[in-house]
Amino acid sequence: MVRRLILIRHAMPRIDPNRHPSTWHLSSEGATQTLEFCERISHYELNKIYTSPEPKALETAAIMAEKYNVPLEKIDQLRDVDRNPQGYVRKSDYDISIRNFFTNPASMILGDETADDCYYRLKSVVDYLMSNDNCGNIVAVSHGLILSVFLSRVLKIGAFKIFNQLVLPSLIVLSIPDLKFVKGDVKIK
């Protein structure tokens, strides 16, 4: 059986500038997006969906799990970059911050984690799931920043370029165990 790692960026959150992004919930538009998005993964055999515990990702994953009648498991390491104490920032400032985050991977730019830390955190989860989940395809719902860091190293593409291509929601499919690009919402050339 050919196994796939199916990485999904959560759907559109309800943005509240007065709350930290890690606490944002899925918007009604995001819920609708997720139902439509389910068609994009309908031809993959799904046995379980792993998700970040952050509400916007958890709610995206819950809609998919209900649609496909599969269990859902929260994994803390799928959370987004730890941006504490930085909360909501204007788009122009955010773009500068994330570009710096991606181009200075050993420096703490956004909060309490470096891009290197994020890569190794997500890589350890992916390695663990590939070794221990022998039930077929692995589906993980996470966030744009950490997925961009991980994918930039796996696919050898700039993280900022990947980040700018990841819409809400997004799909990236990699082969297991070699993590080669199969299909998705980024251009790899």
Cα angle vertex 82, ends 174, 96, to 5°? 85
74-88, 147-161, 167-181, range with the lowest pLDDT: 74-88
Q: Where are the alpha helices (DSSP H) in the chain?
A: 28-37, 55-68, 91-103, 115-132, 144-155, 159-165
The 8-class DSSP code of residue 77 comes to G
Pairing of strands 72-74, 49-51: parallel
The pLDDT assigned to 90 comes to: 78
Provide the Cα torsion 172, 61, 56, 84; round to 10°.
-70
Q: Residue 134 pLDDT > 80, yes or no?
A: no
Whether 15 has a pLDDT exceeding 90, the answer reads: yes
Options 3.40.50.1240, 1.10.357.10, 3.40.50.12660, 3.30.1180.20; which CATH number does 4-184 get? 3.40.50.1240
pLDDT at 40: 95
The answer to whether residue 85 scores a pLDDT higher than 70 is no
For the chain, the average pLDDT equals 94
Map out the domains of the chain as residue ranges: 4-184
What is the pLDDT averaged over residues 95-111?
A: 92
pTM (2 d.p.): 0.95
R_g over Cα of the chain:
16
